[in-house]
C-alpha cells in the first residue's frame, strides 16, 4: 500500500550488544544504525565489503529466535543510514535461498542469500490506523508495475505478502512518511530486491525489543 504523509513518532535511542545480532536506531530517529557499524571486529573473516560472524556470534543469533536462518555475514555499513539510503552488494556471494527480514523498531530491512546479507535499507511501515503485521509471510506474487486498486497509487516492484494488500514495494522513503500497512523501500533498492526474490521466498517481520540501558 502506498506511503502517506502520516507522522512517525521519534524512536528512543537504544544500544546493542557487541555481537551485533540486534539492530538499533541512533539518537536522531532519522538515522538508523546497521549492526555492522557497531559490531567491532568480527573474526576470523573480514573484507572491505562485509563482516563474517564467528561461530559464537552465529550461535547467539540462532538462540535469539529473531532470524529465520543462520547468519554467516553482514554487509559492512560503517555509519548510520538515513531515510532513502540503502546498500546493495552481492559481489562474491554464492547462490542460495533468498529470505528477507524487516525490523519495525529499527526500520531496517535485510536481504539474505544463503546466510549472507546482500542488501539493507531503511524502510517505511504502517501507521497506527493500519499497522504492518508481524510474522513470517511467503511472497504470494510479484508485479513490477503494480498500481493499488484501493488507493489508485503506483506500487513499483511489488512483492505481495498477504491477501489483504500488505506488500513490499518501492516508495519515497522520507522522514515523516508512513504506509497503509506495507513495507516501503527506496525504489532503486526495490528493483534489486525484485530481481532476486521469487514467489514463495519468506519475509520475516519483527519488532525487536529495545536493548536495556547500559549500567553506569
DSSP 10-66: P-------TT--S-EE-SSTTEEE-GGGT-----S-B-SSEEEPPHHHHHHHHHHT-
> Per-residue pLDDT tens for 37-75?
444 443 335 578 889 988 898 888 888 877 888 899 999
- Total-model pTM: 0.78
Residue ranges of the domains in the chain?
Answer: 3-206
51 vs 36: CA distance, rounded Å: 7
> Per-residue pLDDT tens for 87-105?
999 998 999 999 999 999 9
181 vs 123: CA distance, rounded Å: 12
Cell representation of residue 3: 506511503
Nearest alpha-carbon partner for 107 in 33, 1, 193: 33
Rg (CA), the chain: 16
Dihedral angle sign, alpha carbons of residues 134, 67, 41, 88: negative
Domain 3-206 falls in which CATH fold?
L,D-transpeptidase catalytic domain-like (2.40.440)
Amino acid at each position: 500500500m502506498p506511503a502517506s504523509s502520516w507522522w512517525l513518532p521519534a524512536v528512543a535511542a537504544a544500544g546493542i550488544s557487541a555481537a551485533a545480532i540486534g539492530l538499533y536506531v541512533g539518537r536522531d530517529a532519522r538515522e538508523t544504525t546497521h549492526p555492522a557499524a557497531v559490531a567491532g571486529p568480527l573474526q576470523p573473516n573480514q573484507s572491505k565489503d562485509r563482516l563474517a560472524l564467528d561461530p559464537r556470534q552465529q550461535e547467539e543469533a540462532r538462540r535469539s529466535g529473531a532470524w529465520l536462518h543462520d547468519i554467516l555475514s553482514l554487509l559492512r555499513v560503517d555509519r548510520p543510514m538515513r531515510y532513502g539510503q540503502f546498500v546493495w552488494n552481492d559481489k562474491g556471494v554464492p547462490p542460495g535461498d533468498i529470505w528477507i527480514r524487516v525490523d519495525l523498531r529499527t526500520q531496517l530491512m535485510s536481504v539474505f542469500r544463503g546466510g549472507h546479507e546482500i542488501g539493507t535499507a531503511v524502510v517505511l511501515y504502517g501507521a497506527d490506523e493500519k499497522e504492518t503485521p508481524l510474522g513470517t509471510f511467503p511472497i504470494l506474487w510479484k508485479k513490477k508495475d503494480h498500481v493499488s486498486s484501493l488507493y489508485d497509487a503506483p506500487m513499483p516492484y511489488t512483492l505481495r505478502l498477504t491477501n489483504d494488500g500488505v506488500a513490499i514495494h518501492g516508495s519515497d522513503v522520507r522522514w515523516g512518511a508512513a504506509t497503509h500497512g506495507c513495507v516501503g523501500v527506496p525504489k532503486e533498492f526495490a528493483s534489486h530486491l525484485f530481481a532476486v526474490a521469487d514467489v514463495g521466498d519468506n519475509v520475516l517481520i519483527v519488532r525487536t525489543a529495545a536493548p536495556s540501558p547500559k549500567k553506569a
